[in-house]
Amino acid sequence: MSADPSPQPVSRRLVNALLGLGALGALGGMAGAVLAYLWPQPGQAAGSDLLTGTAGPLNPQAVGEGQGVVGRSKVGKVLVVRQGGEWIGLSATCSHLGCTVSWNPASKQVECPCHGARYGLRGEVLRGPARQALGRVELKVDAQGIHVAAAGG
Amino acid sequence: MKGVQRALWQWLDQRLHLEPLAEALWQNLRKVVPPHVNWLFTLGATLAALLAAQVGTGVLLMAYYKPSAAQAHHSIEHLSYEVPLGWFIRSLHAWGSHLIVGLALLHLIHVYVYGGYKKPRELTWVSGVLLLALLLGFGLSGYLLPWDQVAYWATVVVTQSADSVPLAGPWLRRFLIGADEVSDPTLGRFFVVHVILLPLGLLGLMGLHLLLVRWLGISPLGRADEPAPDSEALRQRGGHPFVPYHLLKDLAAVWVGLGVLCTLALLWPSPVGEPADPLVTPLGIKPDWYFLPPYQLLKYVPEAVGVLIPPLFFLLLLLLPFLDRSPERHPRGRSRAMAAGVLVAACLLLLGVLGHLSETTRTILGITYHFDILGWPSHAGGKAAP
Amino acid sequence: MKRLWGFFLLGPALLWAQPPTSLDEVFCATCHFDQGEEFGQSTHYQKGQLLCHDCHGGLPFEANPEKAKGPGSGFIGRPGREQIAALCGKCHAAPAHAFAQGPHAAWQNAANPTCISCHTNHHVLDASLELIDTTCGHCHQPGTPALARGEAIRQQLGEANQQHRRLQLHTDSLLQVDGSLRRAVSYLEAGAAALREADPMTHALDLDLLAGKLDEARAEQDQVKQLLAEREVGRQRRSWAVGAIWVLVAANVFLLWRKRRQLQ
């Protein structure tokens, strides 16, 4: 770009283009920064293989015989039921529309409060509107708490 | 591309009759600006850009900030250490506040020197002074939000002075704070003020201010009782239309201003301070630099008087166009006004420096001085400060 | 280093908040003058504000020696070898506990030291790394594995403390100008606490035990070093960013100037 007194249209277009580029670059940089800043971060229990409640890892001793509890883990929300001395793990997300199910010790069924779906302890659907069974989750209980393995079928 | 633009414009114009408006706007933008307008006159545009950045970063900060005494500090920690670029957004916002107040004061001085407040621009000046008051309000309310030791105790110090207002002082202070001492209710109301009340005011006043500046044009340097030179006369004296000449200058100034802001935020990021502890007052707490002059003043005069001087000063500033009726704009023809301005600026600067030095020990040219609460120095021995 | 150990000794002293009783008021020193003089110079007296009876029993303000040392006064006289560790351990529980686990603990073996063998009685020597240098050699020949172990312990402790001190100084000086390092303070405090716990552990003369505790301290120090490294990397990146920004600003200002020239 030479500084001649009567600039050619090419030079004018070039300057305009570069100016536009500069402005776009700055705006793009700002947009990128804002996106990175607002990008959703993984939650606290996302990497944990220990089932966590609201106040830290779930304590297996707090779950009595015939009772159930829901916790978070790296495979999502898991319902844990202690039945007949065994620890049963099921995905706690209702297959209908995604509400969190819970264990009813009186009826001995997994119940969803949103639309009344019912599941058995093997995850099978006992009553709709759910159609798909709940996935089984392999559990391992030790002194640290309740560990989840990979989610099963 | 041009065809699409034209089609869009026609669609809007058919419904909103924008053509006469656009024409009037274009005529206004093409008005010739007086030739004396130099780079100082870009301060307004730079301020506007910095304020836009401040609003932008403020909105972003609100995505993570929690305005409660129990959570505020922790949310700032999370923001600074864990959120990507959180430290940068926060530093931009903090440095932005300092730059804005500083540039606003420069802008005020500049308009004062060039007589831009005289007829017919009195309302522009009034809206500008009100804007300055708003900016100081932003600084006061925003400073508390991180809820760290400095924020907490500086707020205690600044609100303490409200106590000294005659008659209603203690009640006024309790109303400002929302409790008997700075605590969670204070944070709640400072947050509301900072995040919605002042921004609404800012929007309104800035809109008015910009509208008036555009409508009335930049003031010429002639007398206010003489007719203003028209565009042709200004062009002959060497002036240029606002668009594109001065607009390009404004844009260049905006680039530099934002560059300075980013540099400050990158090289000196805001640290996370100690969480506020209402039971422990740290040493050497002072308000932020723009509050130092009234803070220091209160140490020299009785508090009941001292607390009324800043509002009085503000009132005088506000009424300046009505108190100074001289039609002369050029600084050379206003020696008394210039002298008064220099005096006021010098007093404010002196008070600010005294405020900064007070209750500190510094070594200047090898000799250690201790500055007492009034800012008077005394020898503190040759060795480093205890 | 001395400060760390001194802090440990000061602990019990904080329970007594009065000036020390002058030894002139204590009748034991009337006869046992030499011991009284030695004791008067020790930390136990000056900072711990102990008196003769705190270790020997008896009644220090009773002028009549029969009554002061008689039955019912709790007087134990010169403590026997088997009593010393328990006596010192009444206040210095951690070192005594570690000592009891170490090779020197069998008091029946007269070749083994007791607390006072290294720390002396009356004019008790402050615990310090230098003490290891001067006392191990009293019994152990140079070149023996026992002396080598003592030297290894002394070296490891010394190194760990020196590293900590250097890190502390460095971080403190940076904290003056960069408040973002505040997180490092909690790690440094945890590291210092681990080192304080390591000091009495030396009495167990167990390298593995000590290594475990020193590893704890080192883990905290590593956290601090990581923070410092992150800060350094961050500063470099930010400096580059500043450079890039001003290149961008200069380019655009230049372009705007060219535009203005074009429009003239």
CB B85 within 8 A of CB A37: yes
Final residue of a structural domain among C93, C127, C161: C127
For B366, left (φ over 0), alpha (ψ -120 to 50), or beta? left
Cβ within 8 Å of residue B21, ≥6 positions away: none
Residue C174 maps to a domain: yes
Residue C241 maps to a domain: yes
Q: Helices (H) and strands (E) in chain A — how many of each?
A: 1, 11
In chain C, which residue's Cα lies nearest the Cα of B268? C178
Kindly list the partner chains of chain B, i.e. chains with 3 or more CB atom pairs below 8 Å. A, C
CB spacing of C180 vs B255 below 8 angstroms: no
C contacts of B263 (beta carbons < 8 Å): 242, 245-246
**What is the C-alpha separation between B339 and B113, in angstroms, rounded?**
11
In tens, the pLDDT along B311-327 reads 999 999 999 999 998 99
The mean pLDDT value of chain C amounts to 85
Of A15-24, B205-214, C1-10, where does mean pLDDT reach its minimum? C1-10
Residue B263 has its nearest CB partner, among C178, C245, C253, at C245
Residue C134 maps to a domain: no
CB spacing of B86 vs A37 below 8 angstroms: yes
Residue of B68, B359, B293 lying closest to B161 (CA atoms): B293
Please tell me if residue C244 touches chain B, with a CB cutoff of 8 Å.
no
Name which residue leads in pLDDT, C264 or B353.
Answer: B353
> pLDDT value at position B352?
95
> pLDDT value at position C4?
53
In tens, the pLDDT along B76-129 reads 999 998 899 999 999 999 999 999 999 999 999 999 999 999 989 999 999 999
In chain B, which residue's Cα lies nearest the Cα of C256? B248
CB spacing of A37 vs B89 below 8 angstroms: yes
Place of tokens 């600006």: B33
CB spacing of B248 vs C260 below 8 angstroms: yes
Residue C14 predicted with pLDDT over 70: no
Residue C137 maps to a domain: no
Mutation target among B79, B242, B262 for the C interface, most CBs of C within 10 A: B262
Cβ within 8 Å of residue A102, ≥6 positions away: A68, A70, A79, A92, A110, A111, A112, A113
CB spacing of C258 vs A26 below 8 angstroms: no
CB B50 within 8 A of CB B257: yes
Residue B267 has its nearest CB partner, among C183, C242, C248, at C242
Mind giving me the DSSP string for B120-172?
T-HHHHHHHHHHHHHHHHHHHHHHHTT-BHHHHHHHHHHHHGGGGSTTTHHHH
CB spacing of C262 vs A19 below 8 angstroms: no
Domain total for chain C?
2
Mind giving me the DSSP string for chain C?
-HHHHHHHHHHHHTT--SPPPPGGG-THHHHSHHHHHHHHTSHHHHTT---HHHHH-S-TT-S-HHHHHSTTTT---SPPHHHHHHHHHTT-HHHHHHHHHSTT--TTSTTS--HHHHH-SSSPPPP-HHHHHHHGGGTSPTTSHHHHHHHHHHHHHHHHHHHHHHHHHHHHHHHHH-GGGHHHHHHHHHHHHHHHHHHHHGGG--HHHHHHHHHHHHHHHHHHHHHHHHHHHHHHHHHHHHHHHHHHHHHHHHHHHHHHHHH-
> pLDDT value at position C121?
86
Tokens of C117: 């063998």
Contacts with A, B 256-295, CB within 8 Å = 258
- Give the pLDDT band of residue C53 (cuts 50, 70, 90): confident
- Find which of A6-10, B189-193, B239-243, C89-93 is predicted with most confidence, using mean pLDDT: B189-193
**What is the C-alpha separation between B217 and B236, in angstroms, rounded?**
17
The dihedrals phi and psi of B130, each to the nearest 5 degrees, come to -60, -40
In tens, the pLDDT along C228-244 reads 998 889 889 999 999 99
Final residue of a structural domain among C127, C158, C192: C127
Question: Strand A125-127 relative to strand A118-119: parallel, antiparallel, unpaired?
Answer: antiparallel
Tokens of B115: 């007589």
Asked if C85 and C17 sit in the same domain, the reply is yes
Asked if C70 and C116 sit in the same domain, the reply is yes
Residue C132 maps to a domain: no
The dihedrals phi and psi of B269, each to the nearest 5 degrees, come to -65, 150
Asked if C121 and C181 sit in the same domain, the reply is no
> Residue B303 is which amino acid?
E
> Residue C155 is which amino acid?
Q
Kindly list the partner chains of chain C, i.e. chains with 3 or more CB atom pairs below 8 Å. A, B
How many CB atoms sit inside 10 A of residue C159's CB? 11
Rg of chain B over Cα atoms, rounded to whole angstroms, equals 24
Asked if C96 and C19 sit in the same domain, the reply is yes
B contacts of A33 (beta carbons < 8 Å): 85, 88-89
Place of tokens 């209160």: B298
Name which residue leads in pLDDT, A10 or B42.
Answer: B42
Residue C147 predicted with pLDDT over 80: yes
**What is the C-alpha separation between B41 and B217, in angstroms, rounded?**
12
Residue B32 predicted with pLDDT over 80: yes
B contacts of A36 (beta carbons < 8 Å): 84-85
Tokens of B307: 């607390």
**What is the C-alpha separation between A53 and A55, in angstroms, rounded?**
6
Residue C135 maps to a domain: no
How far apart, in Å, are the Cα atoms of C126 and each of A85, C4, C5, C44, C212?
60, 11, 8, 9, 25
Asked if C76 and C104 sit in the same domain, the reply is yes
Residue C136 maps to a domain: no
CB spacing of C253 vs B256 below 8 angstroms: yes
The mean pLDDT value of chain B amounts to 92
In tens, the pLDDT along B269-305 reads 898 888 999 999 988 888 899 999 999 999 999 888 8
Cβ within 8 Å of residue A111, ≥6 positions away: A101, A102, A103, A104, A117, A118, A119
CB spacing of A15 vs C259 below 8 angstroms: yes
In chain A, which residue's Cα lies nearest the Cα of B85? A37
Asked if C23 and C104 sit in the same domain, the reply is yes
For residue B144, the distance in angstroms to the closest alpha carbon of chain A comes to: 23
For residue B83, the distance in angstroms to the closest alpha carbon of chain A comes to: 6
A contacts of C256 (beta carbons < 8 Å): 19
Asked if C39 and C89 sit in the same domain, the reply is yes
Contacts with A, B 76-115, CB within 8 Å = 82-86, 88-89
> pLDDT value at position B385?
44
C contacts of A22 (beta carbons < 8 Å): 248, 251-252, 255
Q: Give per-residue burial for A68-98: e unless 16+ CB within 10 Å, then b.
A: bbbbbbbbebbbbbbeeeeebbbbbbbbbee
Q: What angle do CA C169, C173, C176 make, to 5 degrees?
A: 145
B contacts of A41 (beta carbons < 8 Å): 82-83
Please tell me if residue B49 touches chain A, with a CB cutoff of 8 Å.
no
> pLDDT value at position A144?
80
Alpha-carbon dihedral sign for residues C231, C232, C234, C235: positive
- Give the pLDDT band of residue B384 (cuts 50, 70, 90): very low
CB spacing of C259 vs A19 below 8 angstroms: yes
- Give the pLDDT band of residue C18 (cuts 50, 70, 90): low
Tokens of C49: 């504000």
In tens, the pLDDT along C23-41 reads 778 888 888 888 888 888 8
CB B156 within 8 A of CB B190: no
Mutation target among C248, C262, C264 for the A interface, most CBs of A within 10 A: C262
Asked if C177 and C112 sit in the same domain, the reply is no
Mutation target among B59, B81, B83 for the A interface, most CBs of A within 10 A: B83
- Give the pLDDT band of residue C85 (cuts 50, 70, 90): confident
> Which residue range is the domain that position C48 belongs to?
2-127
Tally the residues of chain B: 386
Tokens of B60: 């972003």
> pLDDT value at position A152?
47
> pLDDT value at position C51?
87
In chain B, which residue's Cα lies nearest the Cα of A37? B84
Cβ within 8 Å of residue A25, ≥6 positions away: C248
Final residue of a structural domain among C99, C127, C155: C127
Place of tokens 């600003």: C249
CB C110 within 8 A of CB C139: no
Mutation target among A24, A35, A37 for the B interface, most CBs of B within 10 A: A37
Whether this model's ipTM surpasses 0.90 comes out as no
Domains, in order of start, for chain B: 37-219+239-333 (1.20.810.10)
Residue C230 maps to a domain: yes
C contacts of B252 (beta carbons < 8 Å): 252-253, 256-257
| Cis-peptide into B327, omega within 30 deg | no
> pLDDT value at position A45?
60
Residue C52 predicted with pLDDT over 70: yes
- pLDDT 10s per residue in chain A (153 long)? 445 555 567 788 888 899 999 899 999 999 999 999 999 887 766 667 888 887 788 888 888 888 899 998 888 899 999 988 889 999 999 998 999 999 999 999 999 999 999 999 998 999 878 899 999 988 888 888 888 886 544
Asked if C26 and C66 sit in the same domain, the reply is yes
Residue of C122, C121, C126 lying closest to C95 (CA atoms): C126
Residue B252 has its nearest CB partner, among C238, C239, C256, at C256
- Give the pLDDT band of residue C8 (cuts 50, 70, 90): low
In chain A, which residue's Cα lies nearest the Cα of B89? A37
Q: What angle do CA B339, B344, B350 make, to 5 degrees?
A: 120
CB spacing of C252 vs A3 below 8 angstroms: no
Asked if C8 and C118 sit in the same domain, the reply is yes
Asked if C64 and C152 sit in the same domain, the reply is no
**What is the C-alpha separation between C83 and C114, in angstroms, rounded?**
10
Asked if C245 and C173 sit in the same domain, the reply is yes
> pLDDT value at position B55?
97
